[in-house]
Amino acid sequence: MRQSFVLFILGLVLAVSSCRTDFDTVASTGDLKFSKDTVYLDTVFKNIGSSTYQLKVYNRSNDDISIPTIQLKKGLNSKYRMTVDGSSGNNGKIFKDVTLLAKDSLYIFIATTADITDANPADFLYTDEIEFDSGVNLQKVALVTLIQDAVFLYPKQFADGTSETIPLDGKEIDGFYLDENDDVNGNELLFTNEKPYVIYGFASVPESKTVTFEAGARVHFHANSGLLVNKNSSLQINGTVSATDKLENEVIFEGDRLEPDFSDIPGQWKSIILADESTNHSINHLTLKNATVGLSIKNHDATTVQIKNTQIYNCSQYGIMAQNAQINGENLVIDYAGLASLSCVYGGNYTFTHCTFNNNWPGGTQFAVNVSNQLAEATPETHDLTKATFNNCIIYGSNANEFNLDKNTNAEFVYQLNNCLLKFSAATSNPDYQFATDSEHYTAIILNKDPKFYNISKSKFNIDNTSSAFAKGNQAYAIPLDIIGNTRTSPPDLGAYQSKDFPK
């Protein structure tokens, strides 16, 4: 009996299915609806493919329809390409007789690879349209892309399929030496503001040479790329104060993904490495973001690295990682790093004045500032920390403790904090953290008071007169101008920014 019932049900299903009219389509009548009427494919560099963007097409009617044609207006000559519900059609340009069921939708995915010569010379826009149907039923969706011309720097490719490499830490890595007399680019050791630069692999500064970045220079690093400054070589970053939020005079280092979704993604490229025995480095008005390690400084016993008016954000490991280095930092802002915003290890000599070190990376083990005279190894190797001084600084973040001292008694460990706002809320008997009673190491420390940054999520570390850092600095350490060129008052505010009023 049960077997007969099952056979009856199967027969009924087959009978109903044979009467379906789902695929008896009617021609489209031009009533398609779209998720957007213009698809903006964000800025790309010439001949570098964009990300893929989505358009959704809806059939709101009660009829299954057939769209005779979906195509790019420029046809097979278009620099755009599409897939329509997974189909690539004719080279991703033309699709025929596309079925769209009643009350259903389909996805179109669009990407482009366009050259600057394809763009409108007046505005550098490359445009096209997706056309649905034709004649009286014609519907259109516009496509718009901004194309940027750029200087591309990358390793040489050899006939045997290999590419140029350079040495780094005892290994050969993909990279190349910047050439001051390159046949195509001219002086590759001078980065101007005329065009953005895109770097593939590690760009290496030859020994005893100087690489210079002029005010307004824009440098984009591809995945796993970076800059290596070698022995006896120098880095000079000559940014200046900008008048607008466009940071027109700032030197900017970031990844080569220009879409808004990638604007704050850590770890998109490697690092700026100042190698052991590199020398005479000066960094002024640099904005660096989305690296693995922003600045890796290893200039053991060499000249002091001068870093001023610089912002470093969204690094997957460290904003600055210094090993037995010498650094003088003024008006620095470092935030959001997977391990530490600032980490000074294996000793060295450091002075930081009017700096804002913050870390809001999710998790409980990150620090805004880490200071150590050893390397974290099975048998730690030590080196003297001859000086680690913080004046008029803010050291803050989302964790209970944002300041860490990692001292090995086998080497010198000299540190001092003067007029600093500090996040350290755990009670401890450790003699290194006696902020109120240890006058040798701590003077005028403000503990666990909210600095009330303007907007951390947008990397706005400005403060106003309601901040606990307002007018708490020592005039003896004051830098006359803040990170954006505002005159400091007396007494000065703590951190990189002089206070101002913000719109409510």
Pick from 17-31, 167-181, 255-269, 344-358: least confident:
17-31
SS3 8: helix
Tokens encoding 186? 């001219």
Rounded-to-integer distance, Cα 333 and Cα 312, Å: 6
φ and ψ at residue 398, rounded to 5 degrees: -90, -15
Please give the residue that has the higher pLDDT: either 51 or 370: 370
Q: For residue 254, what pLDDT band results from cuts at 50, 70 and 90?
A: very high
Tokens encoding 106? 């389909």
- pTM for this model (two decimals): 0.87
Rounded-to-integer distance, Cα 249 and Cα 91, Å: 43
Q: What is the pLDDT of residue 16?
A: 44
Which of 5-9, 157-161, 323-327 is modeled with the greatest confidence?
A: 323-327
Q: Are 238 and 284 in contact (CB under 8 A)?
A: yes
Pick from 116-130, 234-248, 315-329, 392-406: least confident:
116-130
Q: What is the pLDDT of residue 11?
A: 52
Q: Could you tell me where the beta strands, DSSP code E, fall in 338-437?
A: 340-353, 356-359, 367-372, 374-375, 381-382, 385-391, 394-397, 403-406, 416-418, 421-422
Which amino acid is present at 395? I
Q: For residue 502, what pLDDT band results from cuts at 50, 70 and 90?
A: low
Q: What is the pLDDT of residue 222?
A: 94
Q: What share of residues in the chain are helix, strand, coil (percent, to 5)?
A: 10, 45, 45
Which amino acid is present at 438? D
Q: For residue 7, what pLDDT band results from cuts at 50, 70 and 90?
A: very low
Q: What is the pLDDT of residue 303?
A: 82
Q: What is the pLDDT of residue 301?
A: 63
Please give the residue that has the higher pLDDT: either 7 or 155: 155
Question: Comparing C-alpha atoms, which of 250, 252, 203 is closest to residue 228?
Answer: 203
Per-residue pLDDT, averaged over 224-230, amounts to 97
- The yes-or-no verdict on residue 36 having pLDDT over 50 is yes
- The yes-or-no verdict on residue 437 having pLDDT over 70 is yes
Rounded-to-integer distance, Cα 254 and Cα 231, Å: 25
Q: What is the pLDDT of residue 23?
A: 53
Q: What is the pLDDT of residue 236?
A: 98
Per-residue pLDDT, averaged over 329-347, amounts to 98
- The yes-or-no verdict on residue 377 having pLDDT over 80 is no
Question: Comparing C-alpha atoms, which of 440, 432, 499, 442 is closest to residue 465?
Answer: 499
- Rg of the chain, C-alpha, whole Å: 29
Per-residue pLDDT, averaged over 242-271, amounts to 94
Which amino acid is present at 307? I
Mean pLDDT, the chain, rounded, equals 92
For 475, other C-beta atoms within 10 Å of its C-beta total 12
Q: What is the pLDDT of residue 2?
A: 47
